[in-house]
Amino acid sequence: MTDNENLYDLVIVGGGPAGLSAAIYMARAKYKVLVLEKEKTGGQITITSEVVNYPGVELASGKSLTDSMRKQAEGFGAAFAIAEVKDMNLDQEIKEIHTSKGDYRAFGVILAVGANPRRLGFEGENTFRGRGVAYCATCDGEFFTGMNVFVIGGGFAAVEEGIFLTKYAKHVTIIVRSEDFSCAKTVSDKLKEHDRITVRFSTELKKVEGSQRMEKAVFMDRTTGETWEYDAGKEGGFGVFVFAGYEPNTRWLPEALNLNEQGYILTDANQKTNLPGVYAAGDVCVKNLRQVVTAVADGAIAATSLEKDVTELHKKLGIPEFTVNIPKKMLQPGTGESGQEPDGQAEAGEFLNASIRAQLAPVFAKFQNPVHVRAWLGEDKVSDEVKGFLDEFTEMTDRISWEQAPASEMEPEEQPEYLPSMEILQPDKTPTGMIFHGVPGGHEINSFVVALYNAAGPGTGIADEERARIEGLSKKLHLEIMVSLSCTMCPELVMSAQKIASLSDHVTAEVFDLAHYPKLKEHYQVMSVPCMVVNRRKVYFGKKNVSELLDILEAE
């Protein structure tokens, strides 16, 4: 590696609208740009099914909008890497960014790290998280089909997600602490179109309670102080979705960075922080309105303001300007390299469209060794889909092969408990501990490819400290990870667990598309994903990186 190979004009931490906007502006100006995102690009907006207030775009999903932004940035030459930033040295001329995939250096850094859903702290919130209390309608809405649901919040997200939940819920009640909504009236007026939505103002959720699942909720009228209860009775449970704003994702940032009392990053009008060469953009900043339109504006301002800093550093340090390879043809949003139609859909009967195939080809080329998949299949429709998926997948490369396990020749205890089952094997056909149940489509296609890459080598990068901790695991650990293919938070947990399994003979990580395994859902009372069960005893909800997951496994 040359001295300047991992040196960039700009490293953007965060791949949401703010980070993508900054990448577009800076890359178009022919600077060398790298965007780091620990899960996937798009940010929180990807869980929004309908974006209707972005100028010039009448209607789009959050995912399609940010997918277009990423393609535009890549078209101008921006590079992207899925890596978790562990630490940064920002108080020097050339910044150092230490990640799970290695170290990077940059003349400038834009922090577009966003914010996370805020928890309210009502009694029972932590107890029933994942068993009735949820924070993502897109991820978890289907688990509340036919149930009564309470949406807590009075802002844009609460209204939009409340409407979305009518696709599944028997009835939706929106609980608003204040006397009116805090979003635009044009947004809240949409509720009038839905007769299965009720709104209660000046109301606060005090607690939820129950045994195996939530059975009762207690609310308080903030005007009179009187309380009232909702009892699910024989209805079989209910749901509480919390949309009460966000908390800035800044606790891990260097202490030298100035934050306000709420933890948001303080910037000037040009998005510059108190540290030279360090800017911030998007929801992590102090601002009155947190919307996509303000996020992309922040990103554009930060990028154009940073250009002067970068140019001056090139001159001061005597480092020539970098050469950026810009693709000859910038792909239009939704268009594959093969000339597919703009919707990018696969042909009938296929699982992978041309765009995905084009993206997979260079990944397969990196495989150091061939990798093998052993599949146990039943007589059901899902097993037929798994067979079709594997046939299609292995046709793309000679680095992956698969075989159907001869279940009839095996003892019952040797067969998987749940079918269909895909077990990823080492090149010598010994188990890796990485297993998928169902077709890994949607957000989990990346997880499946990364699992194959980890088996084939060299695999995704990992910090030396984390590798040592994995090697130190001495107990047998069996992880059951339940996901939804529409969940944006699931892949991080899946990839973390399977990375650990790929490096440890003591860990097995089985991933289940919960839509096909209702017995698992019922057994563990799962009403939110991702859900992880360790050794069939302890249940955990929510996304986790490798370090957070190791904290759990080391305590077993």
Q: Are 51 and 45 in contact (CB under 8 A)?
A: yes
pLDDT digits (tens, 9 = 90+) for 158-196: 998 999 999 999 999 999 999 999 988 988 999 999 999
| 16-32 pLDDT tens trace | 999 999 999 999 988 99
Do 470 and 430 share a structural domain? yes
pLDDT band per the 50, 70, 90 thresholds, residue 411: low
Reply yes or no on whether the pLDDT at 347 is more than 70: no
Domain boundary among 204, 226, 244: 244
- Residue 150 maps to a domain: yes
Contacts of 157 (CB under 8 A, 6+ apart): 243
Query: Is residue 185 situated within a structural domain?
Result: yes
For position 344, what pLDDT does the model report?
44
Would the pLDDT of 146 be above 90? yes
Residue 346 inside a domain? The answer is no
Which CATH number goes with the domain that contains 144?
3.50.50.60
389 with 516, same domain? yes
297 & 234 share domain: no
pLDDT band at 352; cut points 50, 70, 90:
confident
The H-assigned helical ranges of 36-147 are 62-75, 137-140
CATH code where residue 501 lies: 3.40.30.80
Residue 411 shares a structural domain with residue 515: yes
Residues 405 and 307 placed together within one structural domain of the fold: no
Residues 240 and 251 in one domain: no
pLDDT band for position 47 (cuts 50, 70, 90): low
- Is the distance from CB of 181 to CB of 159 less than 8 angstroms? yes
pLDDT tens sequence across 466-501: 999 999 999 999 999 999 987 878 888 999 999 999
Structurally, how many domains does the chain consist of? 3
Sequence-separated (6 or more) residues with CB below 8 Å from residue 393: 351, 352, 400, 402
Q: State how beta strands 197-200 and 85-89 pair.
A: unpaired
Distance CA(273)–CA(113), nearest Å, equals: 14
In a domain, 486, yes or no: yes
Over residues 543-550, the mean pLDDT reads 91
Do 372 and 494 belong together in one domain?
Answer: yes
In a domain, 197, yes or no: yes
Q: Are residues 510 and 416 in the same domain?
A: yes
pLDDT surpassing 60 at residue 334: no
Same domain, 376 and 507: yes
| Mean pLDDT across 239-257 | 90
Same domain, residue pair 417 and 310: no
What was the pLDDT predicted at 460? 86
Pick from 191, 214, 244: which residue ends a domain? 244
Q: What's the CA gap between 37 and 23, in Å, rounded? A: 13
Which residue, 250, 257, 251, 249, is CA-closest to 91?
257
Q: Are 107 and 309 in contact (CB under 8 A)?
A: yes
Q: Which comes out higher in pLDDT, residue 87 or 406?
A: 87
Q: Quick one: 409 and 312 in the same domain? A: no
The pair of structure tokens assigned to 6 is 């991992």
Distance CA 520, CA 531 (A): 11
Mean pLDDT for the chain overall: 87
Given this model, what pLDDT does residue 328 score? 42
Structural domain contains residue 30? yes
Q: Answer whether residue 200 is part of any domain.
A: yes
- Digit-coded pLDDT (tens) for 270-304: 999 999 999 999 999 998 777 889 999 999 999 99
| Residue 57 scores a pLDDT above 80 | yes
Q: How far, in whole angstroms, is CA 2 from its chain's centroid?
A: 33
Helices (H), 167-231: 185-188
- Statement to judge: residues 232 and 253 lie in one domain: no
DSSP secondary structure letters along 198-216: EEE-SEEEEEEEESSSEEE
Q: Rounded to an integer, what distance in angstroms lies between the CA atom of residue 513 and that of residue 511?
A: 7
Question: Quick check: is 387 in a domain?
Answer: yes
Residues of the domain holding 203: 133-244
